[in-house]
């Protein structure tokens, strides 16, 4: 029995002695300005992850965690102090068989990384590699490319298949739920963007183990943290701290428009169109463009968690218009012209109008919209033809509407088109001068013609009777001549009445027009 017990203790001691402890110390930098502490910690975690892959526990390797190393350090010594030529000695202090550390430096415009691996028993440098990169992501690729061969030195470049035991929890992949407050952040895990989660919330698959999650959202501080993934449907959430100010746009659109139609750029970058724009703190250059208005550019000082207001009445972009109007029978007529319900003149109209203005023409209430394409800097020539209407020719109705009644209802510049006022008198209350002239003109012409015929006929007859007064019965002939003269005078009187009526009708037309 004693021999069996001693043999068991020997096997246990041999098993314990076979384990190799590997420590990856914190990454150090030649200058604190080269890289932030969080970025250096991330590189350390990446190097430690690569060590786990190349030195699995199944091969009797133990990769010491940050907490294990901290607990093994002598009192008063921090884990960040482990650097330089004392790496091997530090490894002995924490009872590690091998110790590795990365150092960050500056080489020109690039960042350098140098990683060394020491065997603590003999203070011997076992392996090392170096590389250059523009940023942290580039250095991560350097670590991934060099780490396999680097850590194989620990196991003596052993080759062959290493069973990893896929039934173990450390080799599983889990579905996790990631959310942020506020939503919409993009996610990266272990320095790599996650294409399946470009906007939180999202559901992704992650290998079991410890991973560094980073959530990024515009105008917020990045949120990051180490998360141990160990189960399906694990909830992972980050609160994002706001880092922005707000620009309130108080704009007036004289010829119509909305904030959704704006193109807003901040420091040359297009941002969503709205009356409230979020910006990072600092001095920002803002440009506002709308198809109907002149561009606006200004600078604004943005302070985090504060609002600034920009108030402006936009200036419309204008083009030229040469507008004429004709009736259906081709007569040139005068009609009022409106832009955005305001009278701007009469035809023939020559002037400038806003390119986005709502144009109209005609007497109220028969105002017709004009669908014209006004272009900035160009003059559009357009002729409006008034459609024929019932109740007489267009020219006649235009003349009727241009009289006294219309003068009392036509809107002046700056006034809106009246919709409740008629431009002609009601037929039940009075008769217009043009209506009187329409029947008086032909009647007076007929009367004047008849009177003129009678007067000429009896004028000739009276003269003939008078010339023959020397022959025959003088008194009888003189009586006949007097009778003809009387009838002649009546004819001339009828002619005068007809002529007066003709002149009166003509006057009515002129006055009414």
The C-alpha atoms of residue 56 and residue 137 are separated, in whole angstroms, by: 25
The C-alpha atoms of residue 445 and residue 436 are separated, in whole angstroms, by: 14
DSSP state of 332: B
pLDDT tens, 419-471? 333 333 333 334 556 666 666 667 767 776 666 666 666 666 655 655 554 45
Long-range CB contacts (within 8 A, 24+) of 259-265? 261/290, 261/291, 262/288, 262/289, 262/290, 263/288, 263/289, 263/290, 264/288, 264/289, 265/289
- pLDDT beyond 70 at 261: yes
Decide if 41 contacts 28 (C-beta within 8 A): no
The C-alpha atoms of residue 32 and residue 105 are separated, in whole angstroms, by: 10
Please name the residues in contact with 470: beta carbons below 8 A apart, sequence gap of 6 or more. Answer: none
pTM (predicted TM-score): 0.39
Dump strand ranges (E) for 108-244: 110-119, 124-133, 173-181, 186-189, 192-193, 202-207, 209-216, 223-229, 234-239
The percentage of residues in the chain with a pLDDT greater than 90, rounded to a whole number, is 33
> What value does the mean pLDDT take over residues 310-314?
93
Helix 136-152 with 37-54: angle, nearest 10 deg: 30
Window from 115-119, 141-145, 152-156, 219-223 with minimum mean pLDDT: 152-156
Please name the residues in contact with 168: beta carbons below 8 A apart, sequence gap of 6 or more. Answer: none
- pLDDT beyond 60 at 379: yes
- pLDDT beyond 70 at 249: yes
Window from 292-301, 329-338, 470-479 with minimum mean pLDDT: 470-479
Q: What pLDDT sits at residue 186?
A: 95
Q: What pLDDT sits at residue 192?
A: 87
Q: What pLDDT sits at residue 187?
A: 94
> What value does the mean pLDDT take over residues 347-366?
91
């Amino acid at each position: 029995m004693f021999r069996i017990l001693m043999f068991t203790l020997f096997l246990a001691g041999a098993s314990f002695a076979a384990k190799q402890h590997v420590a990856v110390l914190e990454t150090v930098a030649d200058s604190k300005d080269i890289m932030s502490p969080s970025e250096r910690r991330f590189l350390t975690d990446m190097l430690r992850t690569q060590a786990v892959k190349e030195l699995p526990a199944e091969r009797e390797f133990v990769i010491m965690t940050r907490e294990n190393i901290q607990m093994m350090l002598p009192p008063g010594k921090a884990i960040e102090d482990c650097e330089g030529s004392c790496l091997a000695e530090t490894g002995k202090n924490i009872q590690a068989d091998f110790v590795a550390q990365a150092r960050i430096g500056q080489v020109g415009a690039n960042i350098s990384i140098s990683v060394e691996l020491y065997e603590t028993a003999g203070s011997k440098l076992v392996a090392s590699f170096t590389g250059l990169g523009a940023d942290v992501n580039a250095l991560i690729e350097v670590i991934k490319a060099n780490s396999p061969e680097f850590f194989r030195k620990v196991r003596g470049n052993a080759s062959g298949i290493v069973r990893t035991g896929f039934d173990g929890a450390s080799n599983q992949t889990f579905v996790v739920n990631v959310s942020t407050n506020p939503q919409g952040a993009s996610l990266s895990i272990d320095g790599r963007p996650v294409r399946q989660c470009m906007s939180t919330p999202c559901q992704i698959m992650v290998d079991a183990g410890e991973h560094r999650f980073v959530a990024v959202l515009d105008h917020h501080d990045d949120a990051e943290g180490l998360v141990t993934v160990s189960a399906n449907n694990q909830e992972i959430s980050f609160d994002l701290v706001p880092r922005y100010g707000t620009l309130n746009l108080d704009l007036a659109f004289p010829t119509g428009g909305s904030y959704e139609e704006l193109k807003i750029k901040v420091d040359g970058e297009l941002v969503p169109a709205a009356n409230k724009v979020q910006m990072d703190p600092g001095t920002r250059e803002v440009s506002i463009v709308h198809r109907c208005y002149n561009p606006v550019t200004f600078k604004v000082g943005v302070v985090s968690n504060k609002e600034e207001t920009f108030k402006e009445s936009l200036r419309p972009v204008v083009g030229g218009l040469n507008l004429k109007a004709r009736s259906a029978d081709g007569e040139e007529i005068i009609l009022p012209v409106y832009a955005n319900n305001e009278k701007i003149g009469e035809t023939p109209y020559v002037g400038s109008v806003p390119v986005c203005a709502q144009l109209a023409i005609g007497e109220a209430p028969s105002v017709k919209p004009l669908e014209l394409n006004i272009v900035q800097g160009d003059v559009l020539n357009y002729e409006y033809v008034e459609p024929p209407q019932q109740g007489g020719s267009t020219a006649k109705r235009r003349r009727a509407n241009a009289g006294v009644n219309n003068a009392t209802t036509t809107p002046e510049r700056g006034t809106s088109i009246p919709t409740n006022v008629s431009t002609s008198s009601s037929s039940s209350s009075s008769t217009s001068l043009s209506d009187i002239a329409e029947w008086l003109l032909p009647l007076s012409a007929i009367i004047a013609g008849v009177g003129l015929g009678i007067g000429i006929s009896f004028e000739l007859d009276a003269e003939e009777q008078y010339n023959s007064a020397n022959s025959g019965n003088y008194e009888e002939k003189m009586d006949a001549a007097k009778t003809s003269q009387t009838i002649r005078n009546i004819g001339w009187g009828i002619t005068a009445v007809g002529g007066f009526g003709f002149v009166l009708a003509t006057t009515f037309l002129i006055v009414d027009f």
